[in-house]
Amino acid sequence: MAVGFIERLIMGWRNLELKLVSYLYSSLGQHFLGENFEVFYKILLVTWLVFFIVTAGRIVWLRGKTGRGKIDGEKVTKLLGLGLMAVIVSYGVSQIVQILIPLPRPFVVLKVKPLISHEADASFPSDHAVVVFALQTWLSMSFRGEVCFDKVLWLLSWILGVLVVVLRVVAGIHYLVDVAAGAVLGTFVTMLICGVLFGGVLQDKIDNTAL
């Protein structure tokens, strides 16, 4: 009964969004990029992955450094394990929600071709938003550096990550509420795992003097 109520509530909100999603799809997606939209999106996705991996690698290296300049393998393993756990749990919860609340995607309702190739499966919440925000939240909770270079990488990683999930709305694959729910889910689960359950792993300060 509760699931049915939540489904009706979300559907009502999505119906209000439908005109906005249709406008974004036609005015931004088709007008500016058209058939090149998917290529542009894939380039953006790869760019975000590169920035994320570089930033994560930099932070894990700084956190794993010992006083003698060596790498503490156990500390690095725990840190990476937290990130992996956050993604797996967040994604798992997302899949359960999609089974319980199988809501159609915008391109199915609008009867248009999505600008990014995709199956007509459940869209709430957005898996991409879940994963992106889980990873970026883990990155933020791990980040304690004061080096300007690290801050720039961290900020660019966030900006690109947000663009990745927002463009899925423009492509007609998701509603804004799908993306928002995925972002909240990924952020909440990661904060729960990294901040409450295993917060001790992130308590030590990193060596931000490393180049």
Per-residue pLDDT tens digits for 14-29? 677 777 777 777 777 7
Domain boundaries, the chain: 2-202
Confidence of residue 207 (pLDDT cuts 50, 70, 90): very low
The answer to whether 55 and 153 have CB atoms below 8 angstroms apart is yes
Mean pLDDT of 57-75: 69
Sole residue written with tokens 């899925």: 168
Mean pLDDT of 31-44: 83
What is the total residue count of the chain? Answer: 211
Would the pLDDT of 208 be above 50? no
The packing angle between helices 37-64 and 148-170, to 10°, is: 150
Cβ-based burial of 130 (10 A; exposed 0-12, middle 13-18, buried ≥19): buried
Q: What is the pLDDT of residue 46?
A: 94
The answer to whether 158 and 52 have CB atoms below 8 angstroms apart is no
What's the rounded Cα separation, in Å, for the pair 100 and 131? 19
Q: Give DSSP secondary structure letters for 27-57.
A: IIIIIIIGGGHHHHHHHHHHHHHHHHHHHHH
Per-residue pLDDT tens digits for 161-181? 999 999 998 888 888 989 999
Q: State yes or no: cis peptide before 104, omega within 30 of 0.
A: no
The number of angstroms, rounded, from the C-alpha of 196 to the middle of its chain's C-alpha atoms is: 20
Half-sphere exposure of 6 (CA within 13 A, CB side): 13
Q: What is the pLDDT of residue 79?
A: 80
What's the rounded Cα separation, in Å, for the pair 196 and 210? 29
State whether residue 67 is helix, strand or coil: coil
The CATH fold assigned to 2-202 is Vanadium-containing Chloroperoxidase; domain 2 (1.10.606)
What's the rounded Cα separation, in Å, for the pair 28 and 195? 38
